[in-house]
Amino acid sequence: MLSTIPVQDTSIKHLRQACSNCSLRELCLPLGLSVEEMRHVDELVSQGRPVKRGDALYRAGEPFRALFAVKLGFFKTSVVSEDGREQVTGFHMTGDLIGLDAVSTDLHTCDAVALEDSQVCELPFVEMEELARKIPAIQHHLYKVMSREIVRDHGVMLLLGNMKAEERIAAFLLNLSQRFAQRGYSASSFHLRMTREEIGSYLGLKLETVSRTLSKFQEQGYIKVQNRLIEIIQIDALRQLVSNCQG
Amino acid sequence: MLSTIPVQDTSIKHLRQACSNCSLRELCLPLGLSVEEMRHVDELVSQGRPVKRGDALYRAGEPFRALFAVKLGFFKTSVVSEDGREQVTGFHMTGDLIGLDAVSTDLHTCDAVALEDSQVCELPFVEMEELARKIPAIQHHLYKVMSREIVRDHGVMLLLGNMKAEERIAAFLLNLSQRFAQRGYSASSFHLRMTREEIGSYLGLKLETVSRTLSKFQEQGYIKVQNRLIEIIQIDALRQLVSNCQG
DNA sequence: CGCACTTTTGAACAGAATCAAGTTTTGTGG
DNA sequence: CCACAAAACTTGATTCTGTTCAAAAGTGCG
């Protein structure tokens, strides 16, 4: 069965909190590698690289060389049509792996932009593949991560294809809440890193609709909104909204 | 940049026509493998397996053992919510690889149902991974195929998030047309294997809207519709509809 | 050949988009 | 640290697209 909330989890499963080292290490920890294998891993990992808020980590059309693990911070990925309209395809936080779409053509197919000052870890893909051949667990893990991204996308398709505005926003808030909680932050109180417009783009809604719906949730006492600070008051009310749609 | 039409191409790139052998062979042909390597491949491939129209190849929740290559026929994949609503996540024809989503959890996350009498080739995933370790080109190809699925899903997200009904239908017809053409069939005249409702589910529209829009296209002379037989008369008119949206 | 499923078409309705204005917040430079 | 401009957000009124409800006609499978 499909989980109720589209799980945005290209993240490392057991990651419980922001990691200060590059996340490939953490990515490999649950795999139970030998000391020597871990050395291989460490060799691959380049130094963490800072990305300023508003800067692009990569843009569509650029040649693909590496995947990126978000070490710290927050990114959006989006495809932009020539007439300037943007479809946000995902929001990515600590531990998430981005750039998977670029493997298909050796070109990036979307933009990745930092929504706050961030740090990423560069994972050269050619070397990743080499490593994957040496260490089956890594090969398998990479397949899994990509598959998880596909599952997540299917969840978004369900959301975009079947849900009403309120249901979408509720699902979105629950998803964020869950992901923050997984990383050791509060599940009930968090800061939105993105604008209403970006939320709308992700959810297939206009920014006015996003704003109105958040206001409505606040009126109904489901949440408290203060700018980009969200406090979830009645998480069950949100859950019910979503499950009314998807069962 | 993103291609105008969401490319549904988990297919084998150079496949030009329906293949009578299992498609893993074809999948490997462009990779320039040695005779011995090809023997490995052939060992992996099980006999083609027939799937009757209406039958499920697999269902969500079932344990995952193998990917499937569509040898012949036509499938839909969909996630079904508990209240019975269906979101079609893709339509799959000869040469497409399905089941990639299941790698993430070792459980299938969607249903795959044959829309006409079909044949598939079973590709046990564990053995695929083994083979991938021996033959780097296969490892890489598998990553590519999964990545391509992600790109395709992003295209669908763009469609669901940004396009109006007419644009969606136009994009859908163009996509089918292109994929039939790639397989050596007519690009301008083809048979829809799916109901209006299934089209609608895929495109985030109700079946009535699908029907109305097709009728409208016919009135305008863009296409001819006779039940499930589609003839594209003015392909440029459809292209313009789509590009008006996406640039 | 008949029954169930699919499709078409119409009319009324609902939800979200659009248009518009005003307010708040944020970031920047003096 | 303040002032100002730009960006982001809220809220209302109106419009429009697509849904819903309904009924009839067509198709095809057993």
Task: Tell me the DSSP string of chain B.
Answer: ---SS-----S-TT--S--SS-HHHHHHGGG---HHHHHHHHHHPPPPEEE-TT-EEE-TTSBP-EEEEEEESEEEEEEE-TTS-EEEEEEEETT-EE-GGGGGTTB--SEEEESSSEEEEEEEHHHHHHHHHH-HHHHHHHHHHHHHHHHHHHHHHHHHHH--HHHHHHHHHHHHHHHHHHTTS-SSEEE--S-HHHHHHHHT--HHHHHHHHHHHHHTTSEEEETTEEEES-HHHHHHHHHHHH-
What's at A217, amino acid-wise?
A: F
What's at B86, amino acid-wise?
A: E
pLDDT of residue B179 exceeding 80, the answer is yes
CA distance A130 to chain B (A): 9
Q: From the CA of A195, how many Å to the C1' of D6?
A: 15
pLDDT digits (tens, 9 = 90+) for A179-222: 999 999 999 999 999 999 999 999 999 999 999 999 999 999 99
Q: How big is the CA angle at B76 (ends B109 and B161), to the nearest 5 degrees? A: 80
Same domain assignment for residues A133 and A89: yes
Same domain assignment for residues B35 and B91: yes
Same domain assignment for residues B88 and B29: yes
For A93, the 3-state DSSP assignment is: strand
* CATH code of the domain in which A201 resides: 1.10.10.10
pLDDT of residue A12 exceeding 80, the answer is no
Quick one: tokens of A150?
């596909």
pLDDT of residue B239 exceeding 90, the answer is yes
CB atoms within 10 A of CB A229: 11
Distance CA B90, CA B99 (A): 11
Same domain assignment for residues A66 and A178: no
Domain range enclosing B45 = 23-150
Same domain assignment for residues B140 and B176: no
Contact B67, B125 (CB under 8 A): yes
Q: What is the mean pLDDT of residues B28-38?
A: 69
Query: Is A2 within the bounds of a domain?
Result: no
Among the listed ranges A104-113, A214-223, B36-45, which one has the minimum average pLDDT value? B36-45
pLDDT digits (tens, 9 = 90+) for B53-91: 999 999 999 999 999 999 999 999 999 876 667 999 999
CA proximity to A158, closest of B154, B167, B85, B82:
B85
Q: Which of A64, A139, A147, A245 to mutate to test the interface with B (most CBs of B within 10 A)?
A: A147
pLDDT in the model for residue B244: 75
Sign, Cα dihedral of B76, B131, B7, A102: positive
The residue out of A148, A175, A198 marking a domain boundary is A148
Report chain B's mean pLDDT, rounded to a whole number.
87
pLDDT digits (tens, 9 = 90+) for B160-171: 999 999 999 999
What's at A209, amino acid-wise?
A: T
pLDDT digits (tens, 9 = 90+) for B119-178: 999 999 999 999 999 999 999 999 999 999 999 999 999 999 999 999 999 999 999 999
Q: How far apart are the first and last CA of chain B?
A: 11
Q: From the CA of B68, how many Å to the C1' of C15?
A: 41
Lookup: nucleotide whose C1' is closest to B207 CA: C7
* CATH code of the domain in which A99 resides: 2.60.120.10
Query: Is B69 within the bounds of a domain?
Result: yes
CA proximity to B117, closest of B43, B57, B205, B30:
B57
Q: From the CA of A158, how many Å to the C1' of D23?
A: 31
Query: Is A185 within the bounds of a domain?
Result: yes
CB contact under 8 A, B143 and A142: yes
Contact B110, B94 (CB under 8 A): no
pLDDT digits (tens, 9 = 90+) for A49-98: 999 999 999 999 999 999 999 999 999 999 987 666 799 999 999 999 99
Q: From the CA of A14, how many Å to the C1' of D17?
A: 45
Provide the 8-state DSSP code for A66: E
CA dist A161 → A68, A97, A213, B157, B160 (Å): 30, 26, 18, 9, 6
Question: What whole-number percentage of chain A has pLDDT above 90?
Answer: 76
For A154, the 3-state DSSP assignment is: helix
Same domain assignment for residues A112 and A173: no
> Pick the residue with more confidence: A228 or A247?
A228
What's at A223, amino acid-wise?
A: I
Query: Taking CA atoms, what residue in B is nearest to A81?
Result: B246
Strand C, nucleotides covered by protein (CB < 7 Å): 6-11, 15-20, 25-26
The residue out of A148, A179, A206 marking a domain boundary is A148
Q: Any idea how long chain A is? A: 247
The residue out of A93, A114, A148 marking a domain boundary is A148
Query: Taking CA atoms, what residue in B is nearest to A161?
Result: B204
Contact residues on chain B for A89, CB-CB shorter than 8 A: 154, 157
Contact A36, A25 (CB under 8 A): no
pLDDT of residue A39 exceeding 80, the answer is no
pLDDT of residue B180 exceeding 90, the answer is yes
pLDDT of residue A46 exceeding 70, the answer is no
pLDDT of residue B16 exceeding 50, the answer is no
Question: What whole-number percentage of chain B has pLDDT above 90?
Answer: 75
CA distance A202 to chain B (A): 7
Query: Is A7 within the bounds of a domain?
Result: no
Q: What is the mean pLDDT of residues B98-104?
A: 98
Label residue B28 by pLDDT band (50, 70, 90).
low
Distance CA A179, CA A47 (A): 25
Distance CA A214, CA A230 (A): 9
Query: Is A4 within the bounds of a domain?
Result: no
Contact A74, A118 (CB under 8 A): yes
Query: Is B46 within the bounds of a domain?
Result: yes
Query: Is A9 within the bounds of a domain?
Result: no
For A131, the 3-state DSSP assignment is: helix
Contact B109, A154 (CB under 8 A): yes
pLDDT of residue B235 exceeding 90, the answer is yes
Q: Any idea how long chain B is? A: 247
Q: In chain A, at which residue ranges do the beta strands (DSSP E only) sit?
A: 49-51, 56-58, 66-80, 86-93, 97-98, 111-124, 189-191, 223-226, 229-232
CB atoms within 10 A of CB B214: 20
> Pick the residue with more confidence: B51 or B25?
B51
Contact B151, A89 (CB under 8 A): no
Label residue B15 by pLDDT band (50, 70, 90).
very low
Query: Is B1 within the bounds of a domain?
Result: no
Number of domains in chain A: 2
